[in-house]
Amino acid sequence: MLAIELQDIVFHYPSSPPEHALCIPQWQVPPGQRLFLHGRSGSGKTTLLRLLTGMMSPQQGQIRLLGENIQSLSPPQRDTFRAQHIGQISQQFYLLPYLSVADNIRLAAVLAKKSSAFLDDRIYQLLEQLDMPPALFHQPAGRLSQGQQQRVAIARALINRPALLFADEPTSALDEASTAAFIRLLLQNLATDTTLIMISHDHRQASWFDQSVALQDLTSVSKGL
Q: Which residues bind ligand ATP (CB under 6 A)?
A: 13, 15-16, 39, 41-47, 225
Q: For ligand ATP, which is the closer residue by CB, 113 or 204?
A: 204
For residue 199, list its beta bridge partners.
Answer: 37, 168
- Between CA 1 and CA 5 the distance in angstroms is 10
- Between CA 107 and CA 91 the distance in angstroms is 20
- Between CA 189 and CA 166 the distance in angstroms is 14
Q: For ligand ATP, which is the closer residue by CB, 46 or 146?
A: 46
* Minimum gap (Å) between residue 23 Cβ and ligand ATP: 13
* Minimum gap (Å) between residue 209 Cβ and ligand ATP: 17
* Minimum gap (Å) between residue 204 Cβ and ligand ATP: 16
* Minimum gap (Å) between residue 47 Cβ and ligand ATP: 3
Q: For ligand ATP, which is the closer residue by CB, 47 or 149?
A: 47
Q: For ligand ATP, which is the closer residue by CB, 47 or 104?
A: 47
Question: What's the burial of 149, exposed, middle or buried (CB within 10 Å: 0-12/13-18/19+)?
Answer: buried
* Minimum gap (Å) between residue 128 Cβ and ligand ATP: 33
Cβ–Cβ under 8 Å, residues 187 and 19? no
> Which residues are CB-neighbours of 181 under 8 A, at least 6 positions away?
none
Q: For ligand ATP, which is the closer residue by CB, 45 or 122?
A: 45
- Between CA 192 and CA 178 the distance in angstroms is 24
